[in-house]
Amino acid sequence: MRLVVQRVSSASVTIDGEINGAISKGLVVLAAVHRDDDIATIKWAADKVMKLRIFEDEDGKMNRSVADVGGGLLIISQFTLYGDVRKGTRPSFIESAPPEKAEQLYDEFVAYTKSKFSGPVETGVFAAMMDVALVNDGPVTIIIEK
């Protein structure tokens, strides 16, 4: 699984002109499922996101998690994170999980996160064309991969 995590002051995802999910302070999580991923990988990644200490404490140090600051999560499926352009200029997506497996594990990632996280968890729609708007706070962007 490969995740791009961005600390935001606000974010939303719009599908067909309608907002599907929105958060204020929190994390946007762009999530791609690898062809070899399994449920253990998904849980590891979700736990890592929820515990990631990238919000500032009273001393200005990144020492607080999204839960510590009362933030939300906006989780967006994005298979293109596995686009490989080492050869040529057209991305190869051979490392991405097939759509059926990717959707199942993405849904598991979201369900597991919702079951463990106390704040709001919003999402896009798997395989939909989405417009994602965000205000990156910092900016702070972290890549998580297993």
The pLDDT profile of the chain, 146 residues, written as one tens digit per residue, is 999 999 999 999 999 999 999 999 999 999 999 999 999 999 999 999 999 999 999 999 999 999 999 999 999 999 999 999 999 999 999 999 999 999 999 999 999 999 999 999 999 999 999 999 999 999 999 999 98
Second CATH level (architecture) for the domain 2-145: 3-Layer(bba) Sandwich (3.50)
**Rounded-to-10 torsion of CA 108, 122, 30, 23:** -160
Rounded CA-CA distance 48/85 in Å is: 27
Active-site annotation, residues: 78-80
139: cis peptide before it, omega within 30°?
A: yes
> How far is residue 97 from each of residues 31, 36, 74, 90, 94, measured CA to CA in Å?
12, 7, 21, 18, 8
